Structure 1
């Protein structure tokens, strides 16, 4: 792994990138100056062995995350049939007995978090008690699709294995630049003759691979997931419509373009799609279901939503007015409840920093699996107090907000934000991002390793500048990569 600071600069590269979807390239810094988010010229060069190491680490980490998710849901009393019966009219979850309650998830959401975690496995969810009479009504085998996610990894290519910094499991962005922009960059610059010029199968894994001579077409994540969903929900048409929702208050256009790209891949995979705003998701009281409302005063034109992708944090959604109704709607597949992509478990179990101490608790003593992890604990624990060099992170945080880095007892950088006001933090042993010399100064890259349908699919690299760049945030740059550039 090496950083090449003087790579080619394409003529008209800004316009090219804009035409491919990077409409949010100009980034405003706190001092009011504007910089280019996409770095044209520098790039990272990896050996094939390094790419294989990153791919292996990504697969191993995802497997560990699934085991950690199993552990977390089993700490909630509602994960058993009896627990769900006990909690039908009463509160049975508290921070002492329930992990979900400990990290601040409202109790009304617990059952659906657990169901969407288990519902692809009929044996697990419907047969805790083998007596059919002991099952609650509405416990029908179902399926909750998950399409994508992104690990943020420390890696320097100098012999140390990749280390997990966090898992962006529900709402990862930088998808456009990872899947599309850098792919076209590598094609246009032609820096390598390697069989795989870049670790980047993101688009193909979403859409599928066309048929080759003597071989059938290979379906991608959209078709595989929708086919499984139709097996569970047999009333769905062969090509069900998928809504794609984003938050319009995000002013840069990044959310819109990331959602629009995912929507385009679903359309390319053969499904009817529609792009909508979060504010257009409504509730039909009479029909007791989620609907798309075209606009104010157009409730009479509302349309039922069977499937929706939402680029909006579940931890916001379940705390907003009306959140309970949406979770209740999920409860009974036989009543045609809405299917949400990504499902709520992606935020509750995998997409928050409380995952990190669970992973270390489960695998910290396992020599082969712990090599991809850093020691992590809840901030109030005695183990956390023993660390003198650590990253302190809010359980519910994004884009490096409220992350503080401490080295030998001294704070080296912090990023104040609104995150962490609930007082829930974890600490993770400090592993400073690698340092490379750039034209602007010392830069620090983080590897964004993508998962599509649970499989390693490629990477994008974000880098920060100087000491503040040790925490990757919304001012960090995107830099492309190749495999074995021609010298």
Structure 2
């Protein structure tokens, strides 16, 4: 794995405008960064990222049934009591799921280490699935990358295929929703809505703030039409705390991601995985935090936290690094395993799961060891010495 400087495409902003990629710059700072790329070998992708992603995903799914059958475990994950039965029933029905992202620390040597699972509202999807592939094609055509350069990226095809599989399992009508004022979230939602349409599954956009509740407890749109299925790029734990959250269990709405993803989107899944697979090469030692003093070399994360907020790192040399944020409540502690550093850039590898298949990666890098919401997206390429026939669908 190498970080390699490369000339930007002179027309990349125009290409972004053509593709509807409106959040490539956020608050005046670059979010999309193509002044460099990360180069992998095929062996690194297949052995160190793709195969472990599939295995960890299966291990996580195996835990869901155990958790939803245990009041003690549901309580330990700080899932409100009023939603236990709803979540458990969602799992018993095997309500369908769409996608998730595993975040890894990986430097090209040795096993990738799992930082966390983003299995409810993962973002950076459009740029991983579409825009970085366009970058690869353009740079090959310009001669800035070898003609045999490839990418671990079948995310788009996998999403279209998965929506085709979901078409008969999602009660109509289908709506796609995000917070009204988030350009990035709306970009992700509109991309997913387009993927669904390519599979023949057509849905309507609605801001999360515009969803109402009928007199008989059904979720409705602005015309009081009942919502049958709802893709919501909005944290389930927050939705449960909303004014209408109490109506969720009896509303009849089919959520995407489903209610049982509340188990896997919770940082508490990390110590549970460690307890059941102690010593697994891709897992970091992790425990539920009891508030006692931490030894050197640990990281504390709230059970419900996102985008690197409210993370506290206690490093082996006794120094601390912390990030601010809105999250509080119970925490886990995880063994400190540093991200690799490339001249002050710290990349985090996000491995995408669509349905139950590992199908691509996206890389975000920060100027600090904590990957925050301001981290940049940097493309990647597979470049081996032996030429490979580049293909959009990577297996």
**TMscore range, shorter length:** over 0.9
Paired residue for 1:265?
195
CA distance in 1: counterparts of 2:317 and 2:74, whole angstroms: 31
CA distance in 1: counterparts of 2:20 and 2:120, whole angstroms: 21
Question: What's the offset of the Cα at 1:8?
Answer: 2.6
Paired residue for 1:414?
322
Q: Do structure 1's residue 244 and structure 2's residue 176 form an aligned pair?
A: yes
Question: What's the offset of the Cα at 1:408?
Answer: 2.2
Paired residue for 2:393?
none
Choose the corresponding residue for 1:104, options 78, 88, 91.
Answer: 78
Question: What's the offset of the Cα at 1:9?
Answer: 1.5
Paired residue for 2:53?
58
Q: TM-score, normalised by structure 1?
A: 0.75
Question: What's the offset of the Cα at 1:163?
Answer: 0.9
Q: Which runs of 4+ in 1 moved over 4 A?
A: none
Paired residue for 2:391?
none
| Residues 97-176 of structure 1 aligned to structure 2 (within 5 Å) | 98-120=72-94, 144-158=95-109, 160-176=110-126
| Residues 304-315 of structure 1 aligned to structure 2 (within 5 Å) | 304-315=226-237
Q: Is the 8 A contact 1:461 1:480 kept in 2?
A: yes
CA distance in 2: counterparts of 1:340 and 1:170, whole angstroms: 11
Paired residue for 2:278?
364
CA distance in 1: counterparts of 2:52 and 2:146, whole angstroms: 24
Choose the corresponding residue for 2:346, options 421, 425, 444.
Answer: 444
Unaligned 5+ segments in structure 1 are 29-33, 77-97, 121-143, 208-219, 231-235, 294-300, 330-336
Choose the corresponding residue for 1:199, options 134, 139, 152.
Answer: 152
Which secondary structure does the structure 1 equivalent of 2:20 belong to?
coil
Q: Do structure 1's residue 182 and structure 2's residue 132 form an aligned pair?
A: yes
Question: What's the offset of the Cα at 1:273?
Answer: 1.4
Choose the corresponding residue for 2:379, options 480, 483, 486.
Answer: 480
Question: What's the offset of the Cα at 1:381?
Answer: 7.2
Q: Is the 8 A contact 1:20 1:180 kept in 2?
A: no
Paired residue for 1:291?
220
Which secondary structure does the structure 1 equivalent of 2:180 belong to?
coil
CA distance in 2: counterparts of 1:283 and 1:405, whole angstroms: 42
Paired residue for 2:239?
317
CA distance in 2: counterparts of 1:436 and 1:170, whole angstroms: 30
Change (3 A) 1:37 1:15: same
Paired residue for 1:345?
260
Choose the corresponding residue for 1:275, options 205, 213, 223.
Answer: 205
Q: TM-score, normalised by structure 2?
A: 0.92
Paired residue for 1:21?
20
Q: Do structure 1's residue 403 and structure 2's residue 332 form an aligned pair?
A: no
Over residues 88-121 of structure 1, what are the superposed CA-to-partner deviations in whole Å (9 max), with x where a residue is unaligned? Answer: xxxxxxxxxx22223322111111111111213x
Question: What's the offset of the Cα at 1:387?
Answer: 3.5
Q: Is the 8 A contact 2:193 2:202 kept in 1?
A: no
Which secondary structure does the structure 2 equivalent of 1:117 belong to?
helix
Number of corresponding residues: 381
Q: Is the 8 A contact 2:177 2:207 kept in 1?
A: yes
CA RMSD of aligned residues (A): 1.8
| Residues 4-83 of structure 1 aligned to structure 2 (within 5 Å) | 4-5=4-5, 7-28=6-27, 34-53=28-47, 54-76=49-71
CA distance in 2: counterparts of 1:145 and 1:192, whole angstroms: 40
Q: Is the 8 A contact 2:167 2:201 kept in 1?
A: no
CA distance in 2: counterparts of 1:206 and 1:103, whole angstroms: 30
Which secondary structure does the structure 1 equivalent of 2:241 belong to?
coil
Choose the corresponding residue for 1:471, options 361, 364, 370.
Answer: 370
CA distance in 2: counterparts of 1:364 and 1:226, whole angstroms: 39
Question: What's the offset of the Cα at 1:35?
Answer: 2.2
Question: What's the offset of the Cα at 1:472?
Answer: 0.3
CA distance in 2: counterparts of 1:71 and 1:386, whole angstroms: 29
Over residues 389-416 of structure 1, what are the superposed CA-to-partner deviations in whole Å (9 max), with x where a residue is unaligned? Answer: 0111111101100001111262332101
Question: What's the offset of the Cα at 1:66?
Answer: 1.0
Change (3 A) 1:110 1:345: same
Question: What's the offset of the Cα at 1:374?
Answer: 0.2
Over residues 1-43 of structure 1, what are the superposed CA-to-partner deviations in whole Å (9 max), with x where a residue is unaligned? Answer: 11102x1321121221233232112233xxxxx3211112200
Higher relative contact order (CA 8 A, sep 6+): 2
CA distance in 1: counterparts of 2:37 and 2:152, whole angstroms: 13
Which secondary structure does the structure 2 equivalent of 1:470 belong to?
coil
Unaligned 5+ segments in structure 2 are 388-395
Q: Is the 8 A contact 1:206 1:222 kept in 2?
A: yes
CA distance in 1: counterparts of 2:294 and 2:29, whole angstroms: 40
CA distance in 2: counterparts of 1:192 and 1:276, whole angstroms: 43
CA distance in 2: counterparts of 1:192 and 1:58, whole angstroms: 28
Which secondary structure does the structure 1 equivalent of 2:319 belong to?
strand
Which secondary structure does the structure 2 equivalent of 1:373 belong to?
coil
Which secondary structure does the structure 2 equivalent of 1:304 belong to?
coil
Q: Is the 8 A contact 1:21 1:176 kept in 2?
A: no
